[in-house]
Amino acid sequence: MPCCSHDSYGHKATYTVEGITCQHCAMRVKTALETLDGVNEVQVCVQTGTVTVQSDAELCQGEVATAVQEAGYKLA
Ligand SMILES: [Cu+2]
């Protein structure tokens, strides 16, 4: 059963990623995170370097960090 912090869209988490400077960077990070298990939607804001991930269940921070690093960026 989902707990009260889960809405109908599943889990939502926001991360700050260093090094996102343009739409190309945003796409790379977005694509990398979308390949993670259970991820439904990824939104990247180039201006703030903020990445919002919607997923079925809470993601492991290490998994997110690895995916971001493999794309060539770094979690702040
Ligand atoms: Cu770029």
Domain boundaries, the chain: 1-9+34-76
pLDDT of residue 31: 98
How much distance in Å is there from the Cα of 64 to the middle of ligand 1?
19
Of 74, 69, 72, 32, which Cα lies nearest the Cα of 53? Answer: 32
pLDDT digit of tens for each residue in the chain (76 aa)? 444 455 555 899 999 999 999 999 999 999 999 999 999 999 999 999 999 999 999 999 999 999 999 999 999 9
pLDDT of residue 14: 96
pLDDT of residue 10: 85
How much distance in Å is there from the Cα of 5 to the middle of ligand 1?
33
How much distance in Å is there from the Cα of 19 to the middle of ligand 1?
8
pTM of the predicted structure, to 2 decimals? 0.85
For 24-61, give one letter per residue: b (16+ CB within 10 A) or e.
Answer: ebbebbbebbeebeebeebebeeeebebebbbeeebee
